[in-house]
Amino acid sequence: MRPALSVLLLTTLIGAGQGLFLALFTVQSYALLGLLPRTEESVFLGAGSAIALALLVAGLVASFFHLGRPERAWRSAGQWRTSWLSREVIVLPAFMGVVALYGLAHGFALNPLLTTLPQGLAIDASVVLGMLGTLLAFALFVCTAMIYACLRFLAEWHSPLTLVNYILLGGASGFTLAAGLAGLAAPRLVAFLAGWAIVITVLAAIGRLASLWRNARLKPLSTIQSAIGIKHPKVVQKSQGFMGGSFNTQEFFHGTSAGRLRAVKHAFVVLTFVVPVVLLLAGRDLASAPLLLAAFIVQYAGLLAERWFFFAQANHPQNIYYQAVS
């Protein structure tokens, strides 16, 4: 498949926004249980929510650039019973609304106490919003991943690993960004968030490497014989039926060499997993905000490469027929 820049930005930006929100609510949950300090919590959570919302808005804006008629985008929500894309269109703005309310609750002290549990835990509005936002964040991960994982004819995507990787990669980038923000605004949270970022990045590496191993061993279900409906054992294509490029060859094939694919694969593995872990370890030990923010920047660049490879590696069955111009 041909990767579209708008889709790369959409999936990576909203993934980082989801991961950042989950990191923020993790901090609040630990603080609520008395496992983390609460002195810097509200300011950090309010500012972090604003950044998470900005990432989500940026991803939403990017999505409009691959629409033929952006003014009709609202119609995409109408098929929510059968379409994962429609479900994503519904869940994304709902999640954005909850993130905005969560940020307002902390940033402007609009956080009334709702109840106190028998264990002495005070449940305020932000806790309820955080739990709701967590559910919506994971629902959004599922919707986004299933847009691709539900396509049976694209074997590279049709796997539970697609869902696992979307969740882990989004979580890794979000927790890494949270660690960098903590280095600027809440130093006492650096070790906690950087530690979680390292763990999730390592898990994401395991999941993504597993998908690479799986995809490298896939055997195509279709052949050139089944593509054209002829069972003769020796079928050789001489022309695709066009004198030049067409929609089929431009949109369903990345148009790059196998060598470049390998180079991008190696690059995203290093940039998404290896370098960020090294920077996170150093940034955690030194409590260095520049190193932690550098880890996020490098990791995000790696995620763009990873998402490009994710789309480019998917081999549409129609490419069996449209192999050569002449």
Instruction: List, for residues 31-59, the tens digit of each pLDDT value.
Output: 999 888 776 678 899 999 999 999 999 99
* DSSP summary character for residue 150: T
Residue 133 pairs in a beta bridge with none
pLDDT of residue 73: 67
Q: What number is the average pLDDT over the span 167-189?
A: 96
**pLDDT tens digit sequence for 5-24:** 999 999 999 999 999 999 99
Report yes or no on 154 lying in a domain: yes
Pair of tokens at residue 277 = 């872990």
Angle at 69 between CA 87 and CA 156, to 5 degrees: 50
Q: Which two tokens stand for residue 138?
A: 């994971």
Residue 325 lies in a domain: no
pLDDT at 271 over 90: yes
Q: Is there a domain that residue 326 lies in?
A: no
**Domain holding 35: CATH number?**
1.20.1630.10
Q: Is residue 110 part of a domain?
A: yes
Per-residue pLDDT, 27: 96
Q: Where would I find the H helices in 186-257? A: 190-216, 224-228, 247-251
Buried residues in 172-198 as b, exposed as e (16+ CB within 10 A):
bbbbbbbbbbbbeebeebbebbbebbb
Q: How many domains does the chain have?
A: 1
Tokens for 212, please give them. 């690479």
Amino acid at residue number 93: P
Does 138 reside within a domain?
A: yes
Domain limits at 254?
5-68+75-320
pTM for this prediction:
0.92
CA torsion sign, 295 to 25 to 56 to 181?
A: negative
Q: 174 pLDDT band (50/70/90 cuts)? A: very high
Element (H, E) at 116: strand 113-116
Domain assignment present for residue 17? The answer is: yes
Alpha-helix residue ranges (DSSP H) falling in the chain: 5-32, 41-63, 84-107, 125-149, 160-185, 190-216, 224-228, 247-251, 258-269, 275-286, 289-313
